[in-house]
Structure 1
Amino acid sequence: MDLLKEVGNARSIGIAGHMRPDGDCAGSCLALYRYLSQIKKEAQIDLYLEPIADKLQITEDSLRVKQENVEGRIYDVFISLDSGSIDRLGFAEEYFKNSIKTINIDHHISNTNFGQVNYVAHDASSTCEVLYELMEKEYIDLTIAKALYMGIIHDTGVFKHSNTTRRTMEIAGALIEKGVPFSDMIDNTFYRKDYHQNQVLGRCLLESILLLKGKCIVSCVSRKMMEFYEVQSADLDGIVDQLRITKGVEVAILIYEADIHEYKVSLRSNGIVDVRKIAVYFGGGGHIMAAGCTMRGTLHDVFNNLTPHIEYQLENKEGTGAGL
């Protein structure tokens, strides 16, 4: 796809990513916003995202993110990034639907191709990797490079997931050559936690339970617990990955209470179980080894509905062992 040709002479361009933006979502949106702002200087360019976690606000463009929903606003072109389906755009869904031309750029295998123009590279590690390939390289400055690098390290787990390819490493190297402070960025956006985040992590590890003969580990976070530790949902990042590396575990699950009888579920696999299939079954999405969904009912309902799907795959060894 020729990105600049698809954007054409648009006078107004909207950009949005999925709800609860993670590193790849925030990185790709910030990178594309800066890229188009440099090239399409006469166009109005607006970036819409739900609040970005402080640690992911690595460029000054983070301050330009909009969260309002203005009725009747129509864009010449609206670009969705890192969203597997249109409903994942949240409040920006209406902007996308009402725009004259829509472009969908992603890497999720579960993407529903909901744009008029769709560019979904299933073999890419991240949407930031996809964007790098679509960008004219002379326009990639340090600000864009930092945003792209952040997305790549977050969706590859700092290059440890099996979605990391030779091309991923080549792109990361090219971004480092732009001056990306890669060591600090990895620490600050991926590993570093504040005191409250460490406390809730410890609580989740302490109260985790093993299921299915030790092949599955689960931990839950209630609203009361989040209030006690003064944390938000974004502060739970990384907990499910820490659970996943428990010896003998094939699937890790983190469940947190979002509302009365409503739970957000994060799933991670070590290869045998395709957690994307499970998440899609319950209306969510993601990757083979990292996925999520929203489930309703009691906490016991969530447990009882999830575990048969995991048990079935464990018994039939359906997972591919492929990467994210």
Structure 2
Amino acid sequence: MIQGFADWLVYGVLEIGVETRLGAAVNFFVYDTLKILLLLFLISVVMGVVNAYFPVERLRAYLATHRLYGLQYVLASLFGAVTPFCSCSSIPLFIGFVKGGIPLGVTFAYLITSPLVNEVAVAMFLGTFGLRITLIYVVSGIMLGVVGGWILGRLRTERWLSPWVMKIQEQATAESAEWEAEHTGFWQRLPMILRDAWGIVRGILLYVIIGIGIGAAIHGYLPEDFFRQYLSREGWLSVPLSVVLAVPMYSNAAGIVPVIEVFVQKGVPIGTALAFMMAVVGLSLPEAMLLKKVMTWRLIGIFFGVITLAIVLSGYLFNAVL
């Protein structure tokens, strides 16, 4: 429905050509902006209901104090693998987790894996590269989430969340305690839940517009040949170079798989191509702009640094074994 509205608005009302770069960029901007804002509102409502009726404080305390031997990171990463979101679309659920008080390392495990692995990309990988490479892609995407989430959790990164998020957490905890004490019914709580959800959308709106605007411009105007001519080069620098070149791009895993197929056919090593794909979907400028609302620049830098290192090491490993 959102894609149909975007097509109608861009190609019908604005009469921008379907095959033009401007049309592709504007369509991408309208679709992704509406999709992310709608997701953010719906997820914020759901997390508001969860916070009101379920023992989120108890769950948070359990995850923070019990020795689960990393199982919580595995479960969060697996959940990320089955949710069909790109990096920017994953952020609304990430905000919902943070609002609910889920430990940040566990939340990062979800945020890392969610854009890397989804069922559409898995199906395309099977048809393009076969079972062996598909399994390596899926397992590595999940392991990146598990290891990255564990590292970020050990760094105690909660102190670098933005004041806006800290305020949301405190407000959600206070409201939950107040409703529990007064035994407030659902229909009495719903207006406040909706108001809080709209407040979250309004608070992040500017960051969504800026981030998706950057992604739309990149999506519409950067040619694939610009990247392929550099990634085809041999040498140990090809993997980190692929990650650096991927950061300005913005796409989901399913959208980048055909590009990766072209890269491999043109002689790009499979490990370098996979590292490029992971960096495109897991590290992007639009994602950084959206994360700026919920994290300080220091935390964004640490997050991107950990994931960049993991992707580069994965690329070298893939090139060595494939």
TM-score range (shorter-chain normalised) is: under 0.3
Higher helix share: 2
TM-score normalized by the length of structure 2: 0.25
Q: Quick check: which has more Rg, 1 or 2?
A: 2
Higher strand share: 1
TM-score normalized by the length of structure 1: 0.25
Q: Which has the higher contact order (CA 8 A, sep 6+)?
A: 2
